[in-house]
Amino acid sequence: MTGRDAFVTDKQRYVGTYARRVEDYRLLTGKACFTDDIHLENMLHAVIVRSPVAHGKLLGIDVEEARGMPGVHAVYTGEDVARIMGKVFKMPLRLSPVPEHEPFEQTVVAVDKVRYVGEPLAIVVAQTTAMAEDAAACVYPDIESLPAVTDWETSARNEILLFEENGTNCPITYIAQKGDARSITGPYVRRERFVTQRHSAVTMETRSLVAHWDGGHMTVYGAAKVPFTTRRTLARSLDLPIEAVDMIEMDVGGGFGVRGEFYPEDFLVPFASLQLGRPVKWVEDRLENLLGSNHSRQMECELEIVCELDGRILALRGVVHTDSGAYMRSSGAIPPRNVVQFMSGGMDIEHLYFESSVHLTNKAPIGTYRGPGRFEADYFRERILQIAADELGIDQVTFRRMNLVRSEQMPYPLATLDKPHKPEELDSGDYELSLNECLEGFGWEEKLPLQGKLIDGLYHGIAIGTFIEGGGGGIREAARLEIEEDGMVTVYVGSTSLGQGVVTILTQIAADTLEIPMERIRVRHGSTIYLKEGFGSFHSRSTALGGSAVLTTAQSLLEKVREAAAEHFHCSPGEIEISPGLVASCGDSILTAADLGRMKIRAEGQFASHNHTYAYGAAAAHVTVDPATGKVELIDYYGVEDVGKIINRLTSKGQAIGGVVQGLGGVFLENMAYDEHGQFLAGTLADYLMPTATDFPVVRATETEHAPTPHNPLGAKGCGEGGIVPVGGVVANAVAAALSSLGVQTNALPLTPCKVWQMIDERRQEA
């Protein structure tokens, strides 16, 4: 009996197993195709000219010398774009747009004014990249410098305006509330200030595009994340019918929320191809990547907690200020709105009130980065919870346990956001169970005697925290399944692959539903040539929505098979039996999968849900701190997350571990620093430090599935962001616990050795 026959006989199931990723063989053997691997006939190469000034009036750009250089085919400035297109297009927000954002949106190329170092001023197109770079060096912008706004406090004073015509640097203030938190008082009230620094996802592969206008159709290679949305935006910006534009998804070297949004280059490169009638390639270098990709995380929070003396939380309230950079761009509304709506996490708090103000500064615009707003909210909340527990003299585990949302309270309402008005509720779960599982897996009781102890010159600290992860955003996803003449089944889906293993997940779901081996499934994803509509991958939605679309469409395909077979055999559909291996029979007569393929059987469908899913969990950390140097070493980190339904235990664990390491980079290393003139100080990976494999050798994670979501047929909640969400709060609390005898409070990230040593030194001097 062959392996395939064994599957048919035993009805092997794939969902819930450690199935190996089907993507990996091709990726690991050099068969991947990234955008820079695209080489088209007569292709030209583009370089972007960027502003060297953070804030200034753009008086003009001298491009004559550049246009006359060898190999140069064109140089286009904002003035050229306006002349050719009749206007310079402004990039709309993709997520949660409201009218207040529109006056602060970014144009695809600077006109009249520049507002951050790295803002595109022009595109140079030449025969080679080297020729384009040489010409770009001979583009001379005339910029009258203006004072730079480099922090939210200066921005809030509105003395220096980025958009003079708008009269303010604050596009919007979000409010999220539940109950009457502003009037609640109690026997214990504590207010504290917390700060998270500006950092971002720095993907292994930088952004890149190849645009090809063939005289009637625009094809753009290098689409990622949300190709259909990008297609609509690009078609509108170029005044083309949407059917004249296609976005082709390539292999992607990392996404994490940053990759795949609509950036200025997503207009400029296709625009150049449209004008020249030739393919144009653009690949950003690492400096451009650090300068121009969406930044995130930079917030300051004044948070106040009100408690009974026994530790029961009565209210939580606060004000958040977000440094949003120079423009409202792409997904830039999400971090400042998420941070207030999800500030309470999985805590049962009756009264909540939070304000979140967006402040424009002369820095690169912000956007989403894995767990946007949630990483920051978790850090702010877990720090204030730990401060309250310590000052009330209550064990940190007891304090959290008594305030967790209970399973019988589900669905549990969170604070309601005002713009746009969006009530949210936690869907399902036993939060105390995940806390207990984390304590046991971490070895809490065994480690507890080390708390605050100085051993061999190092202080030890341990901490635990709880978290939630939102998923399933984007309302719906589309899929189409076709049986092929070779007996294979091709799955077309609007979800995109950003390295998260979505091809494997969707293959498992389709294989189980159709009862055929995974080897007989082909997945085609993302590109606009496959489906009429698609919604991509963000907000941990690929499994919850994309997977559910594949599941329901596969079920429809089985019904199509039943109907087609009944017509073929001249019997009723109820007489048709579909056997494992996708074999349809009526009595002794059968149709194999290949037979069905020749009958051109296909099914199209979509899955929609207006309810988000909420994975949840707990995480614990054990650190040591060297008081002589300020160096923090992570001894152990353990996380537990309940993701509703686990499709692939291998990829879910990989998501968790990867998220934790990214979070640790944000806690200890990463900082997109600017000076007082708005000049970028982190332009290389020697200045912007990233975690490596040897930095955090002991990171552990467990995924559970106690509480499937009721919002989709899979029960899956998504697990792409949960790993990163709790890291800031848990690790900062562990460092504070280690240094508790010195009175050090870890209320600002990153916790670099220099900063930790300074905090220790300040406390010693005060003592």
Distance CA 603, CA 560 (A): 7
For 363, phi and psi rounded to 5 degrees?
-135, 170
What secondary structure does DSSP assign to 78-134, as a single string? HHHHHHHHSS-PBPPPSSS--GGGGGGBPBSS--SEE-STT-EEEEEEESSHHHHHH
Give dist(CA 491, CA 521) in Å, integer: 7
Q: How many Å apart are CA 666 and CA 749, to the nearest integer?
A: 8
Per the CB < 8 A criterion, the answer to whether 664 and 691 are in contact is yes
**pTM score:** 0.96
Closest by CA position to 110, among listed 166, 58, 53, 48: 58
Predicted pLDDT of residue 720: 92
Specify the residue for token string 């009457």: 180
- Phi, then psi, of 31 in degrees rounded to 5: -95, 5
Residues in the chain, how many? 767
The alpha carbon torsion through 624, 625, 626, 629 (nearest 10 deg) reads 140
DSSP β-ladder status, 188-196 and 280-283:
unpaired
Distance CA 154, CA 674 (A): 14
- Please give the Cα distance from 511 to 514 (Å, whole number): 5
CA–CA distance, 46 with 123 (Å, rounded to integer)? 7
- Identify the helix (H) or strand (E) that includes residue 301: strand 299-307
First-residue to last-residue Cα distance in the chain: 78
- CA 273 – CA 107 distance, rounded (Å): 19
Buried b (16+ CB within 10 A) or exposed e, 637-650: bbbbbbbbbbbbee
- Cα separation values, 2 from 22, 142, 585, Å: 21, 73, 22
Closest listed residue to residue 475, CA positions, set 653, 352, 609: 609
Q: How far apart are CA 26 and CA 48, in angstroms?
A: 32
What are 608's strand-pairing partners?
476
Q: Which of these, 443, 77, 422, lies nearest to 264 by C-alpha position?
A: 77
Which residues, listed in sequence order, are joined to residue 493 by a DSSP beta bridge?
A: 479, 525
| DSSP summary character for residue 547 | I
Contact between 482 and 602 (Cβ < 8 Å)? yes
Per the CB < 8 A criterion, the answer to whether 62 and 138 are in contact is no
650, containing H or E segment: helix 649-668
Q: How far apart are CA 755 and CA 767, in angstroms?
A: 18
For residue 463, list its beta bridge partners.
621
Q: Find out whether the peptide bond into 411 is cis, omega within 30 degrees of 0.
A: yes
The single residue listed with the structure tokens 């809490």 is 444
φ/ψ (deg, to 5) at 460:
-105, 145
* CB distance 597 to 486 below 8 Å: yes
Question: Given the DSSP bridges, would you call strands 299-307 and 313-323 parallel, antiparallel or unpaired?
Answer: antiparallel
Residue with tokens 């995940």: 434
- Interval 427-458: pLDDT, tens: 999 999 999 999 999 999 999 999 999 999 99
Q: Which of 395, 389, 427 shows the shortest CA–CA distance to 411?
A: 427
Q: CA-to-CA distance for 527 and 756, rounded, in angstroms?
A: 47
Answer for the pair 750, 666: CB distance below 8 angstroms, yes or no: yes
Angle between helices 264-276 and 78-85 in degrees, nearest 10: 60
What's the pLDDT score for residue 6? 28
Bridge partners of residue 464, in order along the sequence: 620
Q: Which residue has the tokens 């040897």?
A: 694
- Asked if 299 contacts 195 with a C-beta cutoff of 8 angstroms, the reply is yes
Task: Using CA atoms of 724, 730, 733, 734 in order, give the dihedral in degrees to the nearest 10.
Answer: -110
List pLDDT tens digits, range 195-215.
999 999 999 999 999 999 999
**DSSP for 2-23?**
-HHHHHHHHT---TTB-PPPTT
Backbone angles phi, psi at 455, to 5 degrees: -130, 120
DSSP state of 199: B
Low-confidence ranges of the chain (pLDDT < 70): 1-12
Q: What is the pLDDT of residue 12?
A: 53
Q: Are 444 and 509 in contact (CB under 8 A)?
A: no
Q: How far apart are CA 527 and CA 745, in angstroms?
A: 49
DSSP per-residue codes, 618-647: EEEEEEEE-TTT--EEEEEEEEEEE-SS-S
Cis check for the bond before 750: say yes or no (omega within 30 of 0). yes
Whose structure tokens read 């020729």?
Answer: 131
* Dihedral, 567, 570, 571, 577 alpha carbons, nearest 10: -60
3-state secondary structure 188-217: EEEEEEEEECCECCCCCCCCEEEEEECCCC
Closest CA to 419 of 594, 175, 190, 634: 175
Q: Of 766, 682, 717, 752, nearest to 543 (Cα)? A: 717
Query: Is-contact 705 642, C-beta < 8 A?
Result: yes
The residue among 567, 509, 501, 584 whose CA lies nearest residue 540 is: 501
> What is the distance, to the nearest Å, from the Cα of residue 399 to the centroid of all Cα atoms in its chain?
31
Alpha carbons 547 and 622: distance in angstroms, whole number:
37
